[in-house]
Amino acid sequence: MNANGAITNERSRLPWPMQLAVPAASLITFGTHLLIAQNAPPLETRSYMLLFWEIVGVSIVLAIAQKFWPVLRRWMRHMWPIFTAAILFLGVWDVITVGLHLLPLPYFPGPAAVLRSLISDRGLLLDSTWHSLVLLVSGYTLGVIVGLVSGVCIGWSSSVRYWGMPLLKVVGPIPATAWIPIAMVVSPSAIMSSAGLIALAVWFPVTMLTASGVSNTRASYLDVARTLGAGRLYLIFRVAIPAAIPNIFIGLFMGLGASFLTLVVAESVGVKSGLGWYVSWAQGWAEYGKVFAALIIMAAFFSTVMTLLFKLRDRVLVWQKGIIKW
Q: Can you give the binding site for other proteins, defined by CB under 8 A?
A: 218, 220-221, 223-231, 234, 238-239, 242-243, 245, 319-320, 322-323
Closer to other proteins at the Cβ: 225 or 306?
225
Closer to other proteins at the Cβ: 83 or 221?
221
Q: Select from 265, 240, 256, 132 the least CA-distant residue to 204.
A: 256
Quote the least distance from Cβ 237 to other proteins, whole Å. 11
- H or E element in which residue 233 lies: helix 232-234
Quote the least distance from Cβ 322 to other proteins, whole Å. 6
Distance between CA 176 and CA 213 in Å, rounded? 23
Would you say 132 and 312 are in contact if contact means Cβ atoms under 8 Å apart?
no
Distance between CA 128 and CA 274 in Å, rounded? 4
Quote the least distance from Cβ 218 to other proteins, whole Å. 8
Distance between CA 300 and CA 291 in Å, rounded? 14
Quote the least distance from Cβ 125 to other proteins, whole Å. 42
Distance between CA 322 and CA 242 in Å, rounded? 18
Closer to other proteins at the Cβ: 78 or 325?
325
Quote the least distance from Cβ 233 to other proteins, whole Å. 10
Residue 34 DSSP one-character state: H
- Give the 3-state secondary structure of residue 321: strand
Closer to other proteins at the Cβ: 55 or 239?
239
Closer to other proteins at the Cβ: 146 or 230?
230
- Calculate the alpha carbon distances from 297 to 122, 124, 129, 169, 266 in Å: 10, 12, 8, 35, 18
